[in-house]
Structure formats: C-alpha cells, structure tokens
Chain A
C-alpha cells in the first residue's frame, strides 16, 4: 500500500519520458491520473488508520542490502500520516495548476511527479539509509525544476539551494553511518532501522555530535534562522507549482526529521541545545515577519512570511511537550494548506496582470469578487485569526512553549516574540490583501476575468479545510497524539535509564 503510494508517481514520471513531447493530452492524463491516484490511495490510509496504536502502521519490509541489514522499510504513524496525505494533496493541486504550461511540459510534469515520489518516501521511510535516499531524491528534480522553469536569478537560486541543502545532507549521512557503527559495536550487527535504533543508549558526548550532524540537515531544510538565506532566492525564483511542493511538503520534511530522529535518539543533546535552537526559531519568526512588512513583491512577501510560520513549527518542536509537538504537527498541515493557497492566489494574479508588485495591483476586488472572498479567507487564516486553522496551531505551540520545561527560562520571551510577529502578520497580510483587492483603480485592464472554475476548484479545498480544522481540530490531533506521546516517552525513558529524571510531565 505505502509502496504503491511512493511508486505510482515515480513510475508515472518514468512513463512520461516515453511519451512524445507534443502529446499534451496523454501527458495531462498520465500526470493528473497518477497524482489523483496517489491522493486517493493516501486517503484510504486515513480511513484504515487506527488512532489508538502508538507504533508504525501499514509497514512493509523488503531486504535490500543484506550484508549491512539495510532494508526497504516503510510505515506511517500519526505524525507521518497527515504529512503523507498533505503531500499527495498538494502534489495533486500542483499538477492541476501546471496543466497549461507550454514550454517543456512533459519534462516538467515528469520532474514534478518525481519530486512528489521523493517527498512521500521521506515521510514513510523507516530505514535510515532509505530515508537518506529519498531525501536526496527530493533534491534532484527541484534543481532542474527551479533552474530551467524558474525566473529571475534562477540558476543562482537553485545552485545555492541545492548546495546548501547538500552540505546538511552530507553531515546527516555521516551521522547515519556513525549510528550504524554504534549499533554494530553494541550488538555486532548492523541495523539502520529507526525503530531499533531509537531504543539504543548513546553516549552523551557522541550524542552531541550526532545531533549536530542530523540537525544541520534538518535545520537547513525547514529552515531555522540563521540557516534560512537560501529560502528567499529559491522561493522567488521558483515556478508556482514547484513552490507549492517546496513550501507545502519539503519544508516539513525537516521538521519531521527532527521529530522522528533527533528527539528519540539524542535526548541529552536536545536538552543541552534545545534552548539555543528555539531561540533561532523564535528569531526567525520575528525576522521573517519584520522583513515581510517591508515587501512590495507579493511572492517575496509570502516567502518571508513562510520563514516566520516555519519558525513557529520549529519552535513548537523544541517545547518538548505534548501541546508543543502536536501543535507543531498540526501547524505543518495548516501551513501546507495556507501557504500553497496563498501562492496559488499570487500565481493567479500574476497570470492575469503580468506583475507581482503591489504597486501595480489595486482595487481588483471589484472585478474579481470570487477571488476576493477566497483571498480574504486565506489571508485571515494566514494571520492566525482565531477560529481558523492557523490560530489553533499557533495557540497550541505557544501554549506548549509557555509551559515547557526545557525552555522554561526564556519561554516568556519566545512567546512575546511570537506575539510581536503575530501583530506584524496582521499588518503585512492585510497590507497585501487590501493593497491588491481594495481601493479604487481606474487602470484595470478590460475584461479582467474572475477566477475560472478550474482555479476555483483548486482553491476550494484549502478554503474548506481552513475553516474545518479551525472549528474542529479534534480528528486531526487525535491521530497524532499517540505517536507524539511515544516519542516523548522514548525521550524520557532514555534519560531515566541514564539516571536522570527529566520527568514532571504527563
């Protein structure tokens, strides 16, 4: 089942390469079919998921490299379940959004589907080497997608992005191999299985290095301030469908990695470094928001606001309690929905008016009432209006931070920083929305059409989900809770065995 989900897009991508370049009909059918099929299959996962179990479900194992006991092993639990569904969903939307691309259509679609496959694999892999393979697999199509179909200084942006991420990934590879060796020393057997390794006791001094290695890869990916400077360039140069996947799914891979790897495996290191990293995250929240206030280019504005929101996600993780991590996971889903909807709207506007600067937009609401309504809804969700999904995530995260034991000394400051960023968010989001949609403009081109039915359908799920999750987040969180709790317990029991009591929590 899970293997199916990963490989449908991959096979479709390969199949596309055999299709004639000009046969747009077939290309369209294959891509949409593959993305749709993947999404539907992921939904069946949802229906058959048992939310009371703590461990991995739907696991599949296949021996790969027997000598080192590297297996092809995939599975999902509460945390990855939603991320898988989110990725499939965003990919479907990205595919549908790019159906009218002219140049290099076939190759674009193939790469997009490959990117989807890589991202799905990252969330499902249970073997560390497999995880690494999919991690790199995410990177390769992105390089080409941004480099060929991007805009502005695209080659510079994509090279920077890829090299920066690669540096982190290489460190992670070092860490993976080291972990394998540690296991070998302990048991005279290799194993790269995450679940097995999570139960190992690792020497605190080693933990520090291992944690830093893994963290470097994940912190660059999310990104956590100050390792974020690839993001503005990459986001601004990237074409919108790629951007949907980039911000909606790939950035979450970093956060997921921290939860899956760093927390259970390196608890001592997390305790030592958590406060500092959380500071980076909080700084990123304010930093991204503050720069967004001064932006006039819509895409740049949303890009910087993404830094801010992703900072929230990172902050929540390092609160190290149920509220924080669950809020973080929820916010991952939320941000995926909101950010992709925002970028779609930016893309629609750009397609209609040929520009992205707020200087050129004004008073469009009169001509596009439907877009006006949806844009407003998404804007409100983005700025964290209570009652919509953004607020739920932010509230849980900040609640977690405030009551966190790990961050106790600085938690109030972090929350205040986040509060400041929330006020900024209302400023720049409204600035964006009002600047584009309100006020009078006499120079609107004739025949400016409102969003057509295709675009409406693309935006509609986001709008519905935004309200739904905001009003009734329980089903989402319930499925996440057991897995988060198991990770937190792992994190604490290891400490207990080491003789220290870091408990005091539920």
Chain B
C-alpha cells in the first residue's frame, strides 16, 4: 500500500538518477542526476517518517538537503574552474588523473 508506493517511487527515481549519472556526458546534467538520487532518498525518509509518526526522518532529510547544497556549491565551483580553462563540456575528456 503506502509503503510499497513510497519504496517504489523512491527506487525508481534513484535508478533514474543513477542511470542518468552514468550515461550523460554533460557535467551539469550529471549533477542534476545526483540531486535526483539525493531527493529520492529524501522522499523515502519523509515517507517513512510519516508512516512511523516520528520526526527523525524529516530532520535527517533536512540534513541531507543541507549537505547537498554544500556539495553542489563545491562541485559547481570545481566545474566552473575546469571548464573556464578548457571550454569543453565533456566529462570524458578530463582524464589527467589517468594512472
């Protein structure tokens, strides 16, 4: 019923986000996929918090959002710096860390 619904949607969105991360080449889109994954988890947490009548889930979801925001800031800054020098929006071409 409600549980399955929440679980299903959360899993679906997570998979969409994961696949999107793996398939897309544009870093901004990859970021959006990461946000999708995070939000799917948020969804799950909030859903279960309502099922269990406890505040824990929502509070943790807020924490996740905070962390996501911070991480996005850092990530976008990195992307901006990289692409300012390269003018290339393809993630596959950043392979200077190649071993």
A–B proximity contact (CB within 8 A)? no
Which B positions have Cβ atoms within 8 angstroms of A? Answer: none
